[in-house]
């Protein structure tokens, strides 16, 4: 069954003009969360939500391990730090209720809500650029992204384009810079295609 599913994904990727050099697979537990991801993301983003982005993001964050805990203390599927999960639960009490980062349903809805807030804060030329900024902010903070945008403008680049513009500039240390720039790249350019059967993708035709 797993082999047949993998071949189906490859066929879909070829149909959408993706070149498949190596076949990644979603984590084994991803499929059990498919319906929850679709339901919770649509609750926040609406019926046309780019589900594949969020399926991919959860893979990058936790590998669909609802008990995941990072060395820094981030928890659950969405890897919220305790202060972040407490903050967002208080900001949206009707949508999120009590702070429950280890509850998969809560973690997925909180990720979708946080992403949507960041998406609204970051205007961009294309949806790929906008989602890239959203993901950069999720990983490294909106404050740091705002500084990167200002640096891009100083260097004569656009603050409304991520690829080859904002992505090139940062005052972060080298380790944080590399991690942050790889985050949207892995999610949008590598893993997102694995979730094409879950829902719409965000196209990144010119991203490098």
Query: Is 20 inside any structural domain?
Result: no
Tell me which residue range forms the domain holding 56. Answer: 26-195
Q: How far apart are CA 129 and CA 118, in angstroms?
A: 13
Question: Please, are residues 50 and 176 in contact by the beta-carbon 8 Å criterion?
Answer: no
**Cα distances (angstroms) measured from residue 26 to each of 5, 70, 81, 195:** 11, 20, 24, 8
Q: How far apart are CA 83 and CA 38, in angstroms?
A: 26
Query: Is 145 inside any structural domain?
Result: yes
Q: How far apart are CA 194 and CA 91, in angstroms?
A: 32
- The per-residue pLDDT for 61 is 97
Write the burial class of residue 131 (CB in 10 Å: 0-12 exposed, 13-18 middle, 19+ buried). Answer: buried
Query: Is 39 inside any structural domain?
Result: yes
Query: Is 14 inside any structural domain?
Result: no
Helix (H, G, I), strand (E, B) or coil at 11: helix
- The per-residue pLDDT for 23 is 66
Query: Is 5 inside any structural domain?
Result: no
* Domains: count for the chain: 1
Catalytic residue among 61, 66, 127, 179: 61
Judge whether 66 counts as a catalytic residue: no
Q: Which residues of the chain have pLDDT under 50?
A: 1-21
Query: Is 98 inside any structural domain?
Result: yes
- The per-residue pLDDT for 108 is 98
Query: Is 132 inside any structural domain?
Result: yes
**Cα distances (angstroms) measured from residue 9 to each of 24, 38, 39, 60, 186:** 10, 18, 22, 19, 18
Write the burial class of residue 13 (CB in 10 Å: 0-12 exposed, 13-18 middle, 19+ buried). Answer: middle
- Nearest in space to 66 (alpha carbons), one of 124, 121, 27, 20: 27
- The per-residue pLDDT for 24 is 84
Task: State if pTM tops 0.75.
Answer: yes
CATH for 88: 1.10.530.10
Overall residue count recorded for the chain in this entry: 208
Query: Is 2 inside any structural domain?
Result: no
């Amino acid at each position: 069954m797993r082999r047949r599913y993998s071949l189906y994904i490859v066929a879909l990727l070829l149909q959408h003009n993706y070149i498949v050099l190596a076949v990644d697979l979603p984590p084994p537990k991803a499929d059990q969360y498919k319906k929850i991801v679709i339901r919770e993301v649509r609750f926040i983003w609406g019926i046309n939500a780019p589900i594949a982005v969020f399926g991919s993001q959860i893979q990058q964050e936790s590998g669909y391990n609802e008990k995941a805990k990072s060395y820094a203390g981030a928890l659950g599927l969405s890897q919220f730090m305790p202060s972040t999960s407490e903050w967002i639960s208080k900001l949206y009490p009707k949508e999120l209720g009590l702070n429950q980062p280890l509850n998969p349903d809560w973690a997925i809805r909180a990720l979708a809500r946080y992403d949507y807030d960041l998406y609204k804060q970051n205007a961009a030329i294309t949806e790929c650029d906008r989602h890239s900024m959203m993901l950069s902010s999720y990983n490294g903070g909106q404050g740091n992204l705002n500084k990167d945008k200002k640096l891009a403008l100083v260097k004569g680049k656009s603050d409304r384009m991520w690829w080859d513009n904002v992505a090139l500039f940062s005052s972060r240390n080298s380790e944080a810079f590399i991690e942050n720039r790889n985050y949207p790249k892995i999610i949008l350019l590598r893993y997102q295609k694995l979730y094409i059967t879950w829902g719409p993708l965000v196209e990144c035709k010119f991203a490098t």
